[in-house]
Amino acid sequence: MNKPLILVSNDDGVFASGLQMLISVAREFGEVFVVAPEKGESGMSHAISIVTPIRAKLIKKEEGLTVYSCNGTPVDCVKLALNQLMERKPDYVLSGINHGSNASISVIYSGTMGAAIEGCFNCIPSAGFSLLDHSPVADFSVSQKYVRIVLENLIKDGLPQGTCLNVNIPKLLEDEIKGIEVCRMTKGVWKEEYDKRTDPSGRNYYWLTGYFKNFEPDADDTDEWLLDKGYVTIVPIQVDLTAYDCIDRVKKWNLKK
């Protein structure tokens, strides 16, 4: 039997240590094709490049592994791979391992999850992985165990069409992690604040800061709660954003003029 073909991307850049760890685990399961941003593209969500030309550069090619860098966003990387660089459609799309959490509402902003969701758009079983450690030299050794478990099950059982996985791993030692829990995303919001500064020319500029506001800190079935308690979390994400419960309500509006 032919080995699965696995497309791998991220938003921290083609040389990020999290990506290297994801590649090493993915190679245990199949042929790996990597297209990742040439530099960090965090917070790009599902952004695509429509003005700047997209370029790809072959970084490495060896038995079972091909690596390209791309000057675009994470979603650009997946689109380019599927439409131009790969000879056939991949069996799976994996994104990460992100340096930092993508739990709760962060999934909306995440370039890591943008890449996974793009795979989902194309009817490919996909998953994004994140470690709750923003350090560029974060230790991903514990993460590989949980990436392996998720990937084994993804290959065995697949996913419903229109669904992908958002996997977050706490920054803990292996014997401190209590297990894996499938759960829902926490209801919350990032409360943006901007630090106003002045450059040497006397012009004002603004540096984004802020904090996460958890709307349900005591809900024990959410990703934020479980991560805080030492669990790896898996949140199934659907790409259909329709608010079905609201359809009948809006239909009752006076829309005839």
CATH at residue 115: 3.40.1210.10
Q: Within a domain: residue 200? A: no
Q: Which residue has the tokens 């919350």?
A: 188
Tell me the pLDDT band of 157, cut-offs 50, 70 and 90: very high
Residue 99 lies in a domain: yes
Closest residue by Cα to residue 67 from 25, 31, 43: 31
Residue 143 lies in a domain: yes
- The confidence score (pLDDT) of residue 136 equals 84
Q: Which domain holds residue 69?
A: 5-186+218-251
**117/185 Cα distance (integer angstroms):** 16
Q: pTM of the full predicted structure?
A: 0.93
Q: Residue 168 falls within a domain, yes or no?
A: yes
Q: At what angle do helices 17-26 and 143-157 cross, to 10 degrees?
A: 40
> Is residue 206 situated within a structural domain?
no
* pLDDT of amino acid 1: 53
Report, in angstroms and rounded to the nearest whole number, the Rg of the chain calculated over CA atoms: 19
Q: How confident is residue 209, by pLDDT bands cut at 50, 70 and 90?
A: confident
Q: What is the pLDDT of residues 21-48, one digit of tens each?
A: 999 999 999 999 999 999 999 999 999 9
Does some domain include residue 159?
Answer: yes
Evaluate whether residue 205 is within a structural domain.
no
Q: Which of 79, 80, 81, 78 is nearest to 96 (CA)?
A: 78
Specify if 92 maps to a domain.
yes
pLDDT digits (tens, 9 = 90+) for 95-142: 999 999 999 999 999 999 999 999 999 999 999 999 999 998 899 999
Are 130 and 116 contacting, i.e. CB atoms less than 8 angstroms apart? Answer: no
Q: Where does the pLDDT of residue 256 fall: very low under 50, low under 70, confident under 90, or very high at 90 and above? A: confident
Q: Into how many domains does the chain fold?
A: 1
Please give the structure tokens belonging to residue 246: 């609201």
